[in-house]
Chains A and B, each alone.
Chain A
């Protein structure tokens, strides 16, 4: 019974009898639930994550290159390399059969490679961003190019892995055919997310002097503190309410396994990312230097698809949505989904939209190099037509910067379409 209805019946008095009877009912439900829960918890639970078979085709130190064979015919010629963040693990893309980004790529005919960063130890504390970007990612790309006998790959980055992909692509534009960034922070000068606020004054030198690497557990504790009411209380209340539901418990445990599987981040990499990105915001300004080379975002001239979550509290929209305006590419597209940082990859609703969109976007651009070059030349001469709304000229982007922000706000409001193709006004 709704409280409004109750008020009508009770005429403003407190319905003590009703409250007590509901409490008794709740207690009875809880008792039944606990009885069933023991059956569920003692039963064999399938909580395995990253169950999709793969082959490790290359390994350098602790870093592995995983290859997932397509299910059926390969529909996209250019192989796709997915680079996950150094925080948490790439297994998030393959949490469970039927709800797996990896599986969806396989089924769509994408020749998929993925980097597994492994678990850095104390000996990895001196590894810099340059070692990750030009070292590991660079070597993995070369291995794929040689293995697949192609000259370019499609590159997709997730979160910090996306930032690494942006860096790699700016330094090696000829090796990347299409770039996809998802929940990727590139603009760090924002107060939208608490993480950005807190990182601005973090004494990273003091922290790393003590720890060497940035401990994964400490980072996880920090993430929990971003919203303790939901992440430390409500989440487990929800679990207790569904503890008699085997499927729910299995899904919950898979997520729990993933979320607390937190490798440490190599010290020097964390130091540079904190200082150059969070504190100086050098990346979006094309001022960041790695391995002695400046990362000029204007060198990113290939098609760029930029995904982010409107309700992402770790990498908020303001941290993501400036990239498309900063790169040199003429074929750029921002896509925002009504979800959070992880929801893009794991929620059933987003999965129906996210992976198919990427596959279609890649398919449209998976043409021989010559054809693409010809189209790009044409694009310079004409404004985007209605049939190709995602392709936007730089001129349009620059002029509509203010308008773009308005669109972002609108997409965040309920009832509006969440997908935001750039220039689609």
Chain B
């Protein structure tokens, strides 16, 4: 027996000691997660049904119990005494570091959740009851205020620039989608209105007993009304602005897309558009010089 104990003391790492320490660590962790969760989830508590634990809380408790039962099955209580003091201190330090980090992370997450809850509240001035151009403006404003900033979070490390370009592409695509939706909505307006006007005109004609008896005449009436509505729309400053916004957003999206494609091409033996443009410009300038020299001679 003495020989066995001596052998145990001589081992640089003992399994049962590690088990005890790690169990203590995870017990503390479990408590910490529970405490942190209770703190940060306080504002949303009212949303949960009374007396019912949330899914996250339940999974934490369940995980801890699993670990404890696992530990009971595997550990030998007699072998835990020899755990060195220095080793016992380490999990405390790590735990504190983790607690700080996780608490910070959860705080950020909580802020994001709160932001998500606020989405829509910042644009209350716009009404969504009727589908109108305001809906697109509201969405654009909401996107700018609530979503776009996530894509502008500074990126870190070696892949920073690549990630930034991906975020830019996502942003430009979202913006293009947004303004294009408004543009096509505007384009559709004369169609809707022309049918309304046609119905009114037909109604008046019916009252007067002057309804055309040929379907072609109805079509001719409608196409004239439609043309008139388009002409009115196209001369409006709202349409012109929407057209410029759409073209601009499309251009920005395509520029951002080209940059991503160039990132991909750089890893392959294929020249990028920038490479080719530089080459084209050199050829263009050289040809001009040659032509000028030819004219001199």
User: Which A residues lie at the B interface, using CB under 8 A?
Assistant: 1, 3-4, 6-7, 10-15, 18-19, 22-23, 26, 122-123, 125-127, 131, 135, 194, 197-198, 201-203, 206-207, 209-212, 225-230, 233-234, 237
Answer whether residue B234 sits at the interface, using C-beta atoms and an 8 A cutoff.
yes
Q: Is the CB of A233 within 8 A of B276?
A: no
Contact of B214 among A4, A22, A125, A226 (CB under 8 A): A22
B209 A10 Cβ-Cβ under 8 A: yes
Chain A residue nearest to B194 in the complex (CB): A229
**Contact present for B244 and A234 (CB under 8 Å):** no
17 additional contacts (CB under 8 A) given A131-B288, A229-B226: A19-B211, A19-B213, A26-B214, A122-B277, A123-B280, A123-B283, A194-B234, A197-B240, A202-B244, A206-B247, A206-B252, A210-B252, A210-B253, A210-B255, A212-B277, A225-B234, A226-B234
Contact indicator A201/B240 (Cβ below 8 Å):
yes
The CB with the most chain A CB atoms within 10 A, among B209, B248, B254, is that of B209
29 A-B residue pairs with CB within 8 Å: A3-B210, A6-B210, A7-B208, A12-B208, A14-B209, A18-B213, A22-B215, A122-B273, A123-B283, A126-B280, A131-B288, A194-B234, A197-B235, A201-B240, A202-B244, A203-B244, A203-B247, A206-B248, A207-B247, A209-B251, A209-B255, A210-B254, A210-B255, A212-B277, A225-B234, A228-B230, A233-B223, A233-B226, A237-B223
Once the chains are docked, how many angstroms separate the CA of A175 from the CA of B131?
Answer: 62
Chain B interfacial positions (CB closer than 8 Å to A) = 187, 190, 205-206, 208-217, 219, 223, 226-227, 230-231, 234-235, 240, 243-244, 247-248, 250-255, 258, 273, 276-277, 280-281, 283-284, 288, 291
Pairwise interchain contact A125-B280, C-beta atoms closer than 8 A: yes
Once bound together, how far apart are the Cα atoms of A197 and B240, in whole Å?
9
Residues of B within 8 A of A7 (CB): 208-210
* Structural contact, B280 and A122, CB atoms closer than 8 A: yes
Q: Which of the residues B205, B210, B213, B235 comes within 8 Å of A22, measured between beta carbons? A: B213
CB distance from B182 to the nearest CB of A (A): 15
Contact: A237 with B248, CB < 8 Å? no
The smallest beta-carbon distance between A213 and chain B, in angstroms, is: 11
Chain B nearest Cβ from A255, distance in angstroms: 19
The reply to whether B280 and A194 form a contact with Cβ atoms under 8 Å apart is no
Could you tell me the distance in whole angstroms from the C-beta of A124 to the nearest C-beta in chain B? 8
**B219: chain A residues within 8 A (beta carbon):** 237
Residue from B190, B206, B211, B212 with most neighbouring chain A CB atoms (10 Å) = B211
CA distance A371 to B209 in the complex (A): 72
Instruction: Using known A-B contacts A4-B210, A22-B213, determine if residue A202 contacts B247 with beta carbons closer than 8 Å.
Output: yes
Q: Which of A14, A210, A227, A233 contacts B250 (CB 8 A)?
A: A210
Contact (Cβ within 8 A) B255 A229: no
Question: Min CB distance, B10 to chain A, in Å?
Answer: 72
4 closest A-B pairs (Cβ-Cβ)? Answer: A12-B209, A210-B251, A229-B227, A210-B254
Residue in A15, A209, A210, A234 whose CB lies within 8 Å of B213: A15
Q: Collect the chain A residues with CB atoms within 8 Å of residue B216's CB.
A: 26
